[in-house]
Amino acid sequence: MYQNVFEELFERYLNKTLSEADELLLMEFIQEGSHDDYIKEKINMILKEKQNTEILDAEKGDHILQYILAQTPAETKVISIAEEKSSSRRIFRTVIVAAAVIALLFAVRSAFFYNQNTVIATPQQTETEETNSILSYNGKQLIHLPDGSTIVLNENSSIEYDQSSFNSKTREVKLTGEAYFDIKRNEKVPFIVHTGKVSTKVLGTAFNINAFTNSDHIEVTVERGKVQVGDDQKIYGIIIPNQQIKVNKATLVYEQNNVKAEEAMVWKSKYLILDNINMEEAIALISQKYKTPIKLANQNIKNCQITASFLNDEDLDHIMKVICSVIETEYHYDDKGTIILDGKGCE
């Protein structure tokens, strides 16, 4: 039954008739890895039929590729494709993206190592492209970094880093806009966020940086741990939880204040991120956010693991439908308005 659902979702995705909710469900299916053979067969068929090559356009290829990359193991290398202008080169780029999707699906499952200079060839390929080691993320999303750290990126924001050296020599990223960082501790390799002339340096902590281009200031706010803020010339200060350093972008004049961290990162409270947690933890987060009690008809459900990100202030029913689809359960409301989650659960 689930294979038929996946195939229908994939076909609708290629034809641009998929709703946002169904698109999220499709990406969850892809991440599970149980439909790799179907995807490989489908993309190979598209590649063989030149007249249909543009069905899987660059945008769709990048979307699937980006989602898979966000879920890959730390050692998996990224195959980056440069933007092309001409129609013929757009088709070539589409072929490469499609091939990259196939390769990455199997890299995720088998922990296969790709060298950063790898070029994927196809029967129709008549030229080669070198990979770009700079990996970029744009728009609101949850990002998993190779060192185990995570970034929640706000809308109209972007993050980039050099994947060829990240975590082996340095842990440095460049931020435009706003993001929340939860950094794995590594005393040998500090984590550094560059926002213009200002650098934020940590060993392992959780903090927020607001550096939107339409603002005159950069604000660094700490939720957990310690953060050092400064530039190439000096250190402005070291701040702890519920403290903030605010820096003027033009003059680099700064001030340090006590704040409420949750107020500085209120934008993040609209997101619901279930990052590889069990259903017991997920239910607690959902109940807290939507002020609705949730009970389990089968206690084995709490053992199921779930990974899902809801970044568009989705309603409760939408979230429950997606979760139930992923862990193969059902839900209903009782006469008191409590959600009852039922299914076989996980051992």
**Among 176, 182, 186, which residue's Cα sits nearest to residue 222?**
182
Q: Environment class of residue 231 by beta-carbon count within 10 Å: exposed (0-12), middle (13-18) or buried (19+)?
A: middle
pLDDT score of 125: 35
Q: Of the residues 213, 236, 265, which one is the last residue of a structural domain?
A: 265
Inside any domain, residue 119: no
pLDDT digits (tens, 9 = 90+) for 20-31: 667 777 777 776
**Ranges 68-77, 209-218, 228-237, 275-284: which has the least confidence:** 68-77
286 in helix, strand or coil? helix
Query: pLDDT band at residue 67, thresholds of 50, 70 and 90?
Result: low
- DSSP symbol at 25: H
- Domain for residue 116, yes or no? no
- Mean pLDDT, residues 90-96 taken together: 43
138/259 same-domain check: yes
Question: Do residues 153 and 237 both lie within one domain?
Answer: yes
Bridge pairing between strands 134-138 and 158-162: antiparallel
Range of the domain at 56: 2-110
- How far is Cα 334 from Cα 311, in angstroms, rounded to an integer? 28
Q: Which amino acid is at 190?
A: P
Asked whether residue 121 is domain-assigned, the answer is no
Q: What's the CATH code of the domain at 240?
A: 2.60.120.1440
Mean pLDDT for 123-135 is 53
Q: Is residue 65 part of a domain?
A: yes
Nearest-angstrom CA–CA distance, 135 and 311:
22
- Where residue 49 falls among pLDDT bands split at 50, 70, 90? low
Residue 89 shares a structural domain with residue 148 = no
Task: Please identify, among 110, 125, 146, the residue that sits at the C-terminal boundary of a domain.
Answer: 110
pLDDT for the residue 88: 41
Higher pLDDT, 241 or 129: 241
115 within a domain of the structure (yes/no): no
Q: Does residue 277 fall inside a structural domain?
A: yes
Q: 326 and 219 in one domain? A: no
pLDDT of 313 strictly over 70: yes
23 and 37 fall within a common domain: yes
Q: Which residue has the higher pLDDT, 170 or 282?
A: 282
- Give the end of a domain, one of 213, 239, 265: 265
Q: How confident is the model at residue 198, as a pLDDT?
A: 97
The C-alpha torsion from 178 through 184 and 188 to 194, rounded to 10°, is 0
- Please state, in angstroms and rounded to a whole number, the distance separating the CA atoms of residues 218 and 175: 11
pLDDT at 343: 93
pLDDT bracket for residue 312 (50, 70, 90):
confident
Residues 50 and 167 grouped into a single domain: no
Same domain, 282 and 335: yes
Residues 93, 178 within the same domain: no
223 and 309 together in one domain: no
Kindly tell me if the per-residue pLDDT of 87 is higher than 60: no
- Quick one: how far is CA 163 from the chain centroid? 15
- Residue 341 and residue 301: Cα distance in Å, rounded? 8
**Does 189 fall in a domain?**
yes
Residues 203, 281: one domain?
A: no
261 falls within a domain: yes
CATH label of the domain that carries residue 323: 3.55.50.30
Q: 180-227: per-residue pLDDT in tens? A: 999 999 989 999 999 999 999 998 899 999 999 999 999 999 999 999
Question: Given this model, what pLDDT does residue 26 score?
Answer: 77
Q: Are residues 224 and 246 in the same domain?
A: yes
Q: What is the spatial distance between Cα 153 and Cα 175, in angstroms, rounded to a whole number?
A: 9
Those residues whose C-beta lies under 8 Å from the C-beta of residue 159, and which sit 6 or more positions away, are 136, 137, 143, 151, 153, 173, 174, 175, 176, 179
Which pLDDT score is estimated for 112?
Answer: 30
Q: Does one domain contain both 139 and 261?
A: yes
Domain count, the chain: 3
Residues 343 and 326: their CA atoms lie apart, in Å, by 12
